[in-house]
Each structure stands twice: as structure tokens, then as C-alpha cells.
Structure 1
Amino acid sequence: MEEGTTSALVRNGQGEVDIRTGRRQESIHVPLLGSCRFALAVLGFFGLLNMYAMLVNINVAIVCMVNRTSIYTIDNSTVISNKASNCFRQKDHNFSDESSIRGGELNWDPEIQGYVLGGFYWGYLITQMPAGWIATRYGGKMVTGLSMFVSLIFTLLTPFAARTSFIFAVIVRIVIGLSTGAVFPAMHSLLGNWVPPSERSKFTAMTYSGTQLGIVVTFALGSLMCAHGFAGGWPSIFYVCGITSFIWLILWMWFVSDTPAEHKRISREEKEYIMGLLADSTHDTKKKELQVPWLEIAKSMPNYAIVVSNITCDWGLYTLLTYIPTYMNDVLKLDITTNGLFSSLPYIVFWATVFCGGWLADFFRSRKLMSTTNTRKVFDTVAKLGPASMLIGLGYVDCSQTALAIVLVILAVSSAGFQYSGWVVNHIDIAPSYAGILLGISNSLASTTGIISPIIVGAITEKSQTRAEWQIVFYIAAGMYIFGAIFYIIFASGELQPWAKESCSNPSEEESTDNFLDNEDGL
């Protein structure tokens, strides 16, 4: 098919169907491995790995940035209360020994730490919706590249800012949030243009599992750099994140294109394969005026199901993501190196869950074991009720049960990985052309939890960091998960919404293509 012409053939892995006659013909198989869309998934994976490294580096670094000796000795009554209600490591019998409490160079109390940790999300929520529109209109490649460039510059600036004042540190984190807030909507926009329906779950899982590996690498290596890194220890965490992100940026700008039609190295077979399967659900928003069906989006209950699911999942994950190192430090009394290793374990299993869940979801759909709608609901429910139950149990564990606490944290975090085959990919199901905009809307609203959660957790645990205080934190997160699961079960859908179809498609062609895709995907 020459560029600029319209083919009457819609392809899949086994053959192609003429949408005018419904007759299947033989075609060249276009496997995922080795393809240009696979290259996009790999680069997207490493891009999100670097993005999340820049997001969470402060969470592990703050454990060795803050002078906890100073904080503990501010109020002697707090010290006594803390000692009475929590068990200390064996070397902590002599409480007056400063080495018994980890000390850094910054005198930030829990309230200040909450503002620094939450600063990222103040910026993150602002750029989500405009980034979704810009990426849809002008392409996700440049939006992602520019966002990552700004993020890495300010990541490199973080140590200087933190040593200058906590206000400067908060401002830097806000700017990093502003820039990285555009990455997810832009990435979703790219996936909407590149991913055939039969590959959506596994493709999205492959790409977005980079976020979890970013957490694993940052927590594990960050703890080592805290103790043994260059430039004073903890600053090296930010420098390494900035440098690796710059290397990735060069590769991204060289190899990625917004659509298959624009890619310079894609094969003709793969281009026709992708564009044929997406013919009725995507359209070139660069070459015509972008008319977003805002009113229909605002009235869409499947969209609200995604929004509520995003908000409730993010509350639980941000609570865990932000405070796992602090929880293991203050409640389980783990030293910084052990803390980093155990904090990263849940996200290793999370990464495996995301990856395997994507392939499993597409297996169920392709074999017609479950419809797309039911697949999304089942995986989303597991991703919420699993963490909720584990968090409730975690609230009753103390430092004498460290192994049990770590197992519960691993199960809480890893079971949430099934959300990537639930609500996360659901934007692309219901509206591929507007997936970036829809994710921008839901993620913008959900990002408020990244602001509110650290402040609330800081306020709850400010006095003594006891197990009873952490029980309240975990109960709140579990309640959010349960509410989100119920709402999603009632209102979610995996069907392409009428307002998201290509308006210029011929109705008969649209119907033929839908029937073919239904047979292919088990919808």
C-alpha cells in the first residue's frame, strides 16, 4: 500500500480481511519481536524506568539526607514515647549514642519532609491534561523528549537545592513534576497510534513495567549510594539518575516516530498491519483540526470508572511508594542498606506481575475465555482487593515480625500490578485516538493523591512513628482500594465508545471492521 492511499484490507497475525467482502486472504505474519513497535515498547520501557527513578529517588535519599538525631532530640517526651512503643535494633540500647539513630545533614521534621515528598505532585497534576491534548494534536515523541530533558536538568540540580533550603527543594520537585506530568499522556498517545487491539494488554504491560523496574533500581542502588556514593553519598543518587536519563533521551529522539506512517525504518508489511487494524479507531489528528468530543467524554461512565480507579489506586500506591523506606526505617528499624534492598523487593515482584498479567489478559481475550470488559474488571479487582487486604494485615505487624511485614508489603505492592491489564490500558480500549487526553484527565485528578497522601501520612505519624499510627495510614489506603474496585466493576467497559470512532468512516466498513476485530480479540 503506497502512502496516501486507503487499503480495503485489515490485517491480523494470521491473515487479512477485505472489509468490503469480509473474505480472509493470506498475508505475511508480522511478529512483535524485532518489529518497530517492539522497539517503541523497549524505549518506552527504559524511558519510564528513568522517569520513575527521577520520581522516587527523593523517597530513598531522604532517609539519609535528614538528620534524625536532631529530630529525635527536639522533644524528649517524644523520644521516650517512641522508645516505649517500638522495639529498637540491638545496637540501640544506648539511646544517647548518636550512631543509634541515622543522621544526615538536613534538619527536616516530618512535616517538612511531607512537603518535599509531595512537591513533585503539585507540578505533576498541572500538566497532565494539557499534555494529553498537545500530544494528541502534535505527537507524543517531542512531548516526551522535552519533558524528560527538563526533568533530568532539575534532577541534577536537586542536591544543591536541598542544601540551600527546603523551599528551594520543594520548588525543584514541583518543576520535575511539571515536566514528567506530560510523559504518561504522551506515551498513551503513542500507544494509541501504534498498538493493534490484539496486543494492547501485553504491549502496555511491557512498556509501563519500566516504572516498576525504575523503583527497584532506585531503591536498591540508592541505598548503596547513600552509604557509599560519590559527592557526599546521597547526592550521587540524583546525579546518576540525570546522566542515565540523558543517554536514554538521545536514543529516544533518534529511533521513535509518532505514527507508523511517519517512521523511516518500518517495513511496509508492519505499517499496513498496524494502520489496517487501527483504521476505524484512530485518525491523523495532525492533518486535520482536532475536534475532541469533550461533552461525550464528560458524560461517559466508562471514563469515570477509569478516573475513580486511577485515583483510588494511586492513593494506595503513592502511600506505599513514598513511605516504604520510611516505614521500614522507623517501624521495622532496618539499617539503610537493608532498607533499600527490602524496599525494592516488592517492586521486583510488581514488575513480574505487570509483565505476566499483560500476556495473561491478552491470552484470555484472544481465546475468548473472557470479553475485554470482563478481563479489565477481573484484573482491576485483583489489583485493588489484593493490596487492601495486605495493608490491613500489615497494620498489625511490628519490628519483631520483620519477615512477615516484608511478605505483606511484597504482596500488597505486587498484586497491584494487575491494574496495568485493568484500568491502565482501558483508555486505549474505549478511545484509542483520545487515549492521551483521557489519561491526562484521569492522571491529573489522581495526582492530587500524591500531594494529599504524604501530608496526611506526615501528620498522622509526626509524633512518634508507632504501629498504631501506621495502622490508620493503611486503613485509609485499604478503604480507597475497596471503593475503587466496586465503582469499576459497576461502570467500566472494554468496548470502543461510539464517540471515539473515526467520524469519516463508512458505516458499513466500520461494522465489518468491528466484526473482524471482535472475532480476533474475543471482545
Structure 2
Amino acid sequence: MSKSGSDDESAMIRSQDNQPLLSSSTCAAPSGAPFFCSARYNLALLSCFGISVAYALRVNLSVALVAMVNDTESIPKVTNSAFLCPMGSDPSRTLPGHGKGHHYRWNSKEQGLLLGAFFYGYIITQVPGGYLAGRVGSKLPMGLGIGLTALLSLVTPIAASFGLPCIFAVRFLQGLGEGVTFPSMHAMWSHWAPPFERSRLMTISYVGTNLGTVVSLPLSGILAEYWGWPSIFYVFGCIGLVWMVLWFIFAWETPEQHPSISIREQDYIADCIGDIAPPGWGQGANIPWISIFTSLRLWAIIVAHFCYNWTFYTLLTMLPTYMDSVLHFNIKQNGLLSALPYLLGWLMTVTGGQLADLTIERNILSVTNTRKVFTALGMVLPAVFLVAVTFGGCDHVLAVTFLALSNGIGGLCGSGFSINHLDIAPGYAGLLLGITNTFATIPGFVGPALARYLTPNNLLQEWRTVFCIAAGIDVFGALFFSIFGSGKVQSWAVDEDAPRPHVH
């Protein structure tokens, strides 16, 4: 690259906080590359479906466990009415394991261990998944990862019949399979997402985390009620295998490989992404490991991701238990009401993506400040509502409302730290997400285990401690990212020798 070209690129990086990535005139979508029915938005919808399936396979055990476990021995022996909610008059409510399917006598700690089993496997394949996606592409690991998880879902009821260690092993293997999902998808978006559409496309894609939860929780409750808890694993396993087939047929690694993308759309994506092109490490370039792990900007994402996931995973795995053991909803009500927070999260995530891109495109806020504002709103406000949950006592309406607001507003983080990897190092986005998600997976098995340990009697006072800890961690993460986060492309993420495509 010429010295003049290098100086121009350095100037772009230095000024990026005020002029986001590229000028809107250079990177505005032409008439031949509209949002709707475009290859990039079709990819967003297909990946949203896939991530929905992935999350359905991840969380279905949370509802199924309520029906699987005959926990009459764990009914609180404390009779202080100040900390217990009334049972109600529904006779089926006193039998949490009613319905078809074998019932197991797993105590509270064993259930917490089982809920965390997925994450023990999930944490292992994060960095390898991002590395593999960068080296050989994202399509294969993404498809096979979710396909393996779906296949293992089909054998979960059989594994449970062999005892706790066997079903623990199946959940562990499912975690291994799903661990490559988000790093692979992040790596794929580095080729497909133009800067001014980054928040929109990625929030549509990743809103599948909420959509999958919204669908799977109530559907799991209905399946458990009428066909027994084994049907939960059979239904979602089959759906996962169907998605895998669709993915391998309709997903393409890059716009250049897509057989039916329009020339205008392909040129538009190439022009927008070209000036911040991935550095080509998939073709053998060295990875700047030391620069990556000593980057304060990356550690800001790591801390925020860890803190956000502490609350997210605590609710994801323990909310059905809270609904069952504290508020005493029956299995159908449990699944439906547990899904409401994620329905609001789905709406807030998509809305936040639109607002974030408009904020950047119209120069209302810099990329850095946009990421910080959306992260702060998505972590501090949910912390407030989470603390409010247990102070609402046994008021079911207040409890569900506060839980919905807490998780729903958290969806704004989808336009904050969640996609910040692509801001600071587009070419290493998949690898960076693998790194941050490795740390952020720790709450997946520590959080539920701690929650189970702190709630032996399922009392409101015990759950108040769990929620207050989660809220405090959330606020700390927001503060850390607000101080150290950035939206600038980092110097170690730029390959000065990489060819740049011609901008029309």
C-alpha cells in the first residue's frame, strides 16, 4: 500500500469516533440493494431462525425439569408467611412432576448442577469456534453445531432414564455443539454487514435468543402438560434438524459466493466493508494474540458480557423454578409467563438495532457513545427492575411485570457491547466473540449453582439475595464499559497490506 493510502487509512481510524466508519453517501444502499428480500436480510432471518432453535434447545430443560422432578421432599419446611407465597387452590399445583414421563428424585443441588451442565461444554468451544470460522468459514461449524445439539436432544429422555450422570453428559455435549454458534455467526457478519446496517442486521439475527425463548418456554409447558416432558426434547430436536438442512441449502459464506445475489447488492456490501476489510488471517496471516489479550477495549467487552450474562443466564435457567416454587404457577402458566420477559426483550432488541443505526448514521452520537449509551440503558435499568421483583412480594402481576421489564430493556445491549467486536476489529470479530463468550459462559454454570445454593427453601428472602447479587454485577459491568469501551477500529486489527476494493 502507498504511503498516501496508509495515511488516509490512519486518518479514518483516528476520526472514526466522529465520522462513523464511512460517509453515508459512500455507503448508502442503492436502489438495487434494498433492505427487503435482499440476500443479507434473508441471511439475517435464516440465522435468526437458527439461533432461535439453538436457544430453544438450550432452555427447554428449564421447563422440562419442573415436570421431570418429583420434588415433594423439597417443599419449604419454613412456615413464616412473610417469606412464603400461598399455594392457591389448584390441586395439580401440588404435584410439580405430574403428567406423562418418568419422575426423578433429584435434589436442589443436583438440579442446579444439571442446569449448568450445558455451559461446561459451551465454554470449551468458544475460542476454537471463532478460530475455525476465521480459518475455514462459518457455514459448516454453525450448521453442524446446531445439528449436533438437535440430534442429542432426541436422545435426552433415554439418557435421563440411565441416571443423572448420563443426562449430564448429553447436556455437556450439547454445549460443545452450540459453543461454535455465536463466534461463527459473528465471523460471517464480518463479510455481510455494512457498517450503517450493522446494528439492524445483527439484532435481527441475534434476537433469536429471545424469540427462541419466547416460543420454547410456553410450548414446552404445553407439551409437558398434554404429551409428557419427553415430547419437549423430541419436538425441538426435530425442528433443529430441519433448520440444519435449510441452512446448508440457503446460507452462503460471503456475498461473492451467493448464486442469486444482485450485482448492485454485492457491490454495495463490498464497497462498504472494503475499507475495513478483514485482514485475511483465514489465508494464513498471523493473529496478533498479544495485542488482542492486552487490549483494554476488548476487556471492556469481556467485563460487560460477563456481567450481563450473569443476570441473563440466572433468569434463563432459574425463572421457571422461581415461577413454580415461589409464585406457584402451574406448568402451563409457568411456561407462558416465563416467556413474557423474552417477548419484550425481542421487541426491544429489534427496536434498539434500528435506533442505534439511525443514531450513528445521522451523527447524533459517535459509534463509541452509541455503544456506551445502549449498554448502560440495557444493564442499569434491568438491575433496578430485578431488585424490585422480590420487593413486590407475592403480587403475581408486579413480579411478572418487573421481570418482563428487566429482561426486556436488557435487549438494548444487543446494540451496545454485544456487537462491539465488529466495531473494534471487524476481521477478528468471530475470534473476539469466542474470547468474550468464553468468559461470559462462566455465569451459565456458576449463576444457577449459586442461585440453587442460596435458595434451599425457595423463600422470597432467599431469592431477593440472588436477584440483588445479579443486579449489582449488572451495574458494575455497565460502569466498566462506559469508562473503557470504544467504537474505534483498533490499530492491531488493521492489515496495511490487505488489498482494498475499488469504491465506485
Note the alpha carbon deviations across 1:335-358, whole angstroms, 9 max, x for none: 111111111111111000000000
| Structure 2 residue corresponding to 1:180, chosen from 172, 178, 181 | 178
- Whether the aligned pair in 2 keeps the contact of 1:392 and 1:471 (CA below 8 Å) is yes
Q: Distance in 1 between matches of 2:375 and 2:25?
A: 32
- Whether the aligned pair in 2 keeps the contact of 1:385 and 1:481 (CA below 8 Å) is yes
- 1:43 matched to which residue of 2? 46
- Whether the aligned pair in 2 keeps the contact of 1:46 and 1:248 (CA below 8 Å) is yes
Q: Which amino acid aligns with 1:128?
A: Q
| Structure 1 residue corresponding to 2:320, chosen from 321, 325, 328 | 325
- 1:91 matched to which residue of 2? 89
Aligned residues: 480
Q: What pairs with 1:401-416 in structure 2 (closer than 5 Å)?
A: 401-416=395-410
Q: What pairs with 1:22-37 in structure 2 (closer than 5 Å)?
A: 28-37=31-40
1:114 positional shift: 0.4
| Structure 2 residue corresponding to 1:115, chosen from 109, 113, 116 | 113
1:468 positional shift: 0.7
- Corresponding position: 1:439 with 2:421: no
- 1:349 matched to which residue of 2? 344
- Taking a change above 3 Å as real, the CA distance of residues 166 and 364 of structure 1, as seen in their structure-2 partners, is same
Note the alpha carbon deviations across 1:178-217, whole angstroms, 9 max, x for none: 1101000000000111100010011111000011010011
| Structure 2 residue corresponding to 1:295, chosen from 290, 293, 297 | 290
Q: Distance in 1 between matches of 2:97 and 2:343?
A: 28
- 2:368 matched to which residue of 1? 373
Q: What pairs with 1:211-226 in structure 2 (closer than 5 Å)?
A: 211-226=209-224
Give the stretch that moved more between structures: 114-123 or 257-266: 257-266
1:41 positional shift: 0.3
| Structure 2 residue corresponding to 1:53, chosen from 46, 51, 56 | 56
Q: Distance in 2 between matches of 1:13 and 1:263?
A: 27
Q: Which amino acid aligns with 2:418?
A: V
Q: Distance in 2 between matches of 1:362 and 1:150?
A: 35
The alignment's TM-score, normalised by the length of structure 1, stands at: 0.88
Q: Distance in 1 between matches of 2:169 and 2:493?
A: 38
Q: Distance in 2 between matches of 1:212 and 1:253?
A: 23
Q: Which amino acid aligns with 1:288?
A: Q
Q: Which amino acid aligns with 2:63?
A: V
1:226 positional shift: 0.9
Q: Find the residue that maps to 2:211 and give its secondary structure.
A: helix
Q: Distance in 2 between matches of 1:54 and 1:225?
A: 14
1:98 positional shift: 8.4
Q: Which amino acid aligns with 2:452?
A: G
- Corresponding position: 1:62 with 2:65: yes
Q: Distance in 2 between matches of 1:35 and 1:355?
A: 18
Q: Distance in 1 between matches of 2:491 and 2:432?
A: 15
Note the alpha carbon deviations across 1:67-117, whole angstroms, 9 max, x for none: 022444xxxxx535477841322327xxxx886242351111110100110
- 1:475 matched to which residue of 2? 468
Which runs of 5 or more residues in structure 2 are unaligned? 1-20
Note the alpha carbon deviations across 1:206-248, whole angstroms, 9 max, x for none: 000011010011111111111012xxx1111111111111111
- 2:497 matched to which residue of 1? 504
Q: Find the residue that maps to 1:290 and give its secondary structure.
A: coil
Q: Which amino acid aligns with 1:118?
A: G
| Structure 2 residue corresponding to 1:102, chosen from 96, 102, 112 | 96
- Whether the aligned pair in 2 keeps the contact of 1:14 and 1:27 (CA below 8 Å) is no
The alignment's TM-score, normalised by the length of structure 2, stands at: 0.91
Note the alpha carbon deviations across 1:287-334, whole angstroms, 9 max, x for none: 621321111111211111100010000001011111111111111111
Q: Find the residue that maps to 2:391 and give its secondary structure.
A: coil
Q: Distance in 2 between matches of 1:301 and 1:286?
A: 22
Q: Which amino acid aligns with 1:367?
A: R
- Whether the aligned pair in 2 keeps the contact of 1:15 and 1:28 (CA below 8 Å) is no
Q: Which amino acid aligns with 1:305?
A: A
Q: Distance in 1 between matches of 2:334 and 2:188?
A: 37
Q: What pairs with 1:195-206 in structure 2 (closer than 5 Å)?
A: 195-206=193-204
1:277 positional shift: 1.3
Q: Find the residue that maps to 1:90 and give its secondary structure.
A: coil
- Whether the aligned pair in 2 keeps the contact of 1:280 and 1:502 (CA below 8 Å) is no
- 2:386 matched to which residue of 1? 391
Q: Which amino acid aligns with 1:223?
A: G
- 2:7 matched to which residue of 1? none
- Whether the aligned pair in 2 keeps the contact of 1:124 and 1:181 (CA below 8 Å) is yes
| Structure 1 residue corresponding to 2:154, chosen from 150, 153, 156 | 156
- Taking a change above 3 Å as real, the CA distance of residues 490 and 84 of structure 1, as seen in their structure-2 partners, is closer
Q: Distance in 1 between matches of 2:285 and 2:116?
A: 34
Q: Distance in 2 between matches of 1:68 and 1:46?
A: 35
- Taking a change above 3 Å as real, the CA distance of residues 457 and 499 of structure 1, as seen in their structure-2 partners, is same
1:16 positional shift: 4.8
Q: Distance in 2 between matches of 1:227 and 1:450?
A: 27
- 1:450 matched to which residue of 2? 444
- 1:427 matched to which residue of 2? 421
Give the stretch that moved more between structures: 429-438 or 276-285: 276-285
Q: Distance in 2 between matches of 1:299 and 1:36?
A: 37
Q: Which amino acid aligns with 1:175?
A: L
Aligned-pair identity in percent equals 38
- 2:357 matched to which residue of 1? 362
Give the stretch that moved more between structures: 469-478 or 266-275: 266-275
- Corresponding position: 1:262 with 2:257: yes
- Whether the aligned pair in 2 keeps the contact of 1:65 and 1:234 (CA below 8 Å) is yes
Q: Distance in 2 between matches of 1:14 and 1:372?
A: 14
Q: Distance in 1 between matches of 2:202 and 2:481?
A: 19
- Whether the aligned pair in 1 keeps the contact of 2:151 and 2:241 (CA below 8 Å) is no
- 2:231 matched to which residue of 1? 236
Superposition RMSD on alpha carbons, in Å?
2.3
1:270 positional shift: 1.3
- Taking a change above 3 Å as real, the CA distance of residues 255 and 13 of structure 1, as seen in their structure-2 partners, is farther
Note the alpha carbon deviations across 1:154-182, whole angstroms, 9 max, x for none: 11111111122011111110000011010
- Corresponding position: 1:210 with 2:212: no
- 2:5 matched to which residue of 1? none
- Taking a change above 3 Å as real, the CA distance of residues 37 and 470 of structure 1, as seen in their structure-2 partners, is same
Q: Find the residue that maps to 1:91 and give its secondary structure.
A: coil
Q: Find the residue that maps to 2:89 and give its secondary structure.
A: helix
